[in-house]
Structure 1
Amino acid sequence: MPSALILDCENARLSPDERALFRDADPWGFILFARHCPSAEGVRALCAELRECVGRDAPVFIDQEGGRVARMKAPAFPPHPPMAVFGALWREDPELAKAAARLNARLIGRLVSDLGVDVDCVPMLDVRQPDADKAVIGDRALAEEAGIVAALGRAVMEGLIEGGALAVIKHMPGHGRATVDSHHHLPRVSASREALRAVDFAPFRALKDAAIGMTAHVVYEAFDPQRCGTMSPVIVRDVIRGEIGFDGLLVSDDLKMKALGGPVGARVADCLAAGVDIACCCNFSFAEKVEAVGAARALEGEALARAEAALARRPSSVLRADTRPDYERLAAMIAPAMSA
């Protein structure tokens, strides 16, 4: 059985120590960052090397949102707009906004899947709030209204699948109220249960049929004042699985973030104990990877069934055509929002 981990590597090619660790630990999946994406050929080669290491078609994840969060960067790869562009376009023409969001996601899906990447960590379904920390959410969010976020999020999810990649809905059950960046500090949200249910949870309920979801490193004081969502059985069991009704594969946000304290092994063990299916360990040192591997459990039972069900939804084949006309069409569609 693979271990309940998603891991990355230090550089664009594996070191002998990494190859040995991955071969022995057999992480369920891998994730790429900008340092892994020097060129299309480099991405293909690394994806093949990672899969060869574990001897199976392991899923490879990436954060290719568009805008400032893009691991495959120009000029080596085509740029994509931030997701907020589609929310701005919605104010002018909702149908055009959905069509543009879908086309943009389809192009991203084609880009990453053609290089061996199976899963893109979008759409972000966090409902942006006026007083939220713009560094972590800002123009990454689709909109400030739950209904618009849900509609555009659906378009993004379906577009990615059409392009050949699976989507990840994030950050469950909602990061839009965070007033600090969870990369550096632990956000605490004091909103009432009623407010969270009406706004933050709503887009996730609307897209609860997604194959994969990602947790948030946010404390929701109305539900569990002691533990952040990733580490909270209350949030995972009662909110994500219960109130939202999400039954797909649940992966953690990056466990390296400074929002979390304690040794990395404890972080891995605690999030899995809370009910998260897969622990995502990014930018760990080699020693920390070894610690994470020691703390992780085998992927089995319901978690394994959800992982297999998610991968069974990977698109089997996508027509590979020249995408330049579609990029030109996308540019024309979003022009009103880009100039606003």
Structure 2
Amino acid sequence: MTPHAPLIIDIAGTTLTKTDKQRLRHPLVGGVILFGRNWSDRQQLTKLCRKIKKVRPDALICVDHEGGRVQRFKTDGFTHLPPMRALGELWLTGEGADTGAAALRACNAATATGYVLGAELRACGVDFSFAPVLDLDHGGSGVIGDRAFARDARMVTLLAQALLHGLRQAGMANCGKHFPGHGYAVADSHVDVPVDERPLATLLADDAAPYGWLSASLSSVMPAHVIYPQVDNRPAGFSARWLQDILRRELGFQGAVFSDDLSMAGARQIEGRTVSPTEAAVAALQAGCDMVLLCNQSLVDDGAPLEAWLDGMTEALLKHQWRPSTASEQRRLALLPTMPAQPWDDLMCEPRYIHALGLLP
């Protein structure tokens, strides 16, 4: 076992195969990210999470479960959570918008949303969700769109702070994304390499502002696969300038840093050169990421790209192309829940949960 297990992998189906178990036992693997294909019902999900923990007790079981169109589990009792824009609209147009009462109700609703989100996932054995989105809604990004709370960085910060409180009530850590901001660039980093030409001063005063204001509250941050050429020629997730100089030193962030999915188009080009998932992961770790994700590769050629990644990262470690970090491993372990999860049937009867459901927009 290395002092640092930075790799987050995926699995192909609703049960663990022998191959999945072998990959989970790899000393560099520190977590699993689940998708809709890993779900059939609550009983199956709970059993799958239990099996993962049996193989690897310290594995961080993750999911993208934000609400709205990015919610992996939506049936068998899971609440259909609102998109974050609904909370921003409640602030701006709800009753008492002119007196501030609507803003306070929106923050209360955000806390309720965070609690329901975290409590339902944890009741099924999921440790962690990559939420909330802190991107500002500039109106031009289809991939962000209603995933953003609002255009105003102050509104985003306060609504996110309230949602973080709800997650904490459920015993779940959080992840602000996509640093320093994906809301202005129009291109979708899943299929393209977005570029944001604005200067650093503008970015820090606007899109990146929530990260500074929430630096004591965020458990983790995920940088954007966006290039900000006036700051660095590399996408933010591969940039020591962004991750170490600005996020950690200037903004004071102390938590964990995840790469975004390294299979995305925005992660496959660094300074004009096409890179492999291994090269991308090494670059992200060298820049300051604590953990790196490679998603949906278990579906390709029986997982051959995932096997190649595990082998490549092991070789890169042996060649000293990246250094294990005890601090990074401590940040990973700090994301694991420390309080027991409430069983689903008990949760359904809990007064706090029932009250929270009534507050959702």
**Do both proteins adopt the same fold according to a TM-score greater than 0.5, normalized to the shorter chain?**
yes
Q: What secondary structure is seen at the aligned counterpart in 2 of 1:80? A: coil
1:288 aligned to 2:305? yes
**Cα RMSD, aligned residues only:** 2.0
In 2, the alpha carbon distance for the partners of 1:323 and 1:169 equals 30
In 1, the alpha carbon distance for the partners of 2:341 and 2:104 equals 25
1:168 aligned to 2:175? yes
- Aligned residue type for 1:57: D
* Structure 1 match to 2:339: 316
1:113 aligned to 2:122? yes
1:141 aligned to 2:148? yes
Does the aligned pair in 1 maintain the 2:116–2:357 contact within 8 Å?
no
In 1, the alpha carbon distance for the partners of 2:127 and 2:152 equals 30
In 2, the alpha carbon distance for the partners of 1:277 and 1:181 equals 24
1:96 aligned to 2:105? yes
Q: In structure 2, list runs of 5 or more residues that go unmatched.
A: 95-101, 269-274, 318-322
Does the aligned pair in 2 maintain the 1:60–1:118 contact within 8 Å?
yes
Q: Deviations over 1:71-107 (max 9, x none)?
A: 1123552211111100000113000000001001101
Q: Deviations over 1:254-298 (max 9, x none)?
A: 111122222211111111111111111111141221222233347
**Aligned mate of 1:7, from 9, 12, 17:** 9
- Aligned residue type for 1:97: A
Does the aligned pair in 1 maintain the 2:129–2:174 contact within 8 Å?
yes
- Shift of residue 327, structure 1, vs aligned partner: 7.1
Pick closer, same or farther for the CA change 1:178–1:103 going to 2, 3 Å.
Answer: same
- Shift of residue 9, structure 1, vs aligned partner: 0.5
Q: 69-78 vs 200-209, which deviates more?
A: 69-78
Does the aligned pair in 1 maintain the 2:128–2:335 contact within 8 Å?
no
Does the aligned pair in 1 maintain the 2:65–2:131 contact within 8 Å?
yes
- Shift of residue 64, structure 1, vs aligned partner: 0.9
Q: Deviations over 1:216-267 (max 9, x none)?
A: 111111210x210111111111121122221111111111112222221111
In 2, the alpha carbon distance for the partners of 1:157 and 1:133 equals 24
Superposed, 1:12-91 pairs within 5 Å as 12-54=14-56, 56-74=57-75, 77-91=78-92
Fraction of identical pairs, as percent:
31
Does the aligned pair in 2 maintain the 1:38–1:76 contact within 8 Å?
no
In 2, the alpha carbon distance for the partners of 1:50 and 1:334 equals 32
- Shift of residue 21, structure 1, vs aligned partner: 2.3
Superposed, 1:246-261 pairs within 5 Å as 246-261=253-268
In 1, the alpha carbon distance for the partners of 2:115 and 2:14 equals 26
Q: TM-score, normalised by structure 2?
A: 0.85
Q: TM-score, normalised by structure 1?
A: 0.90
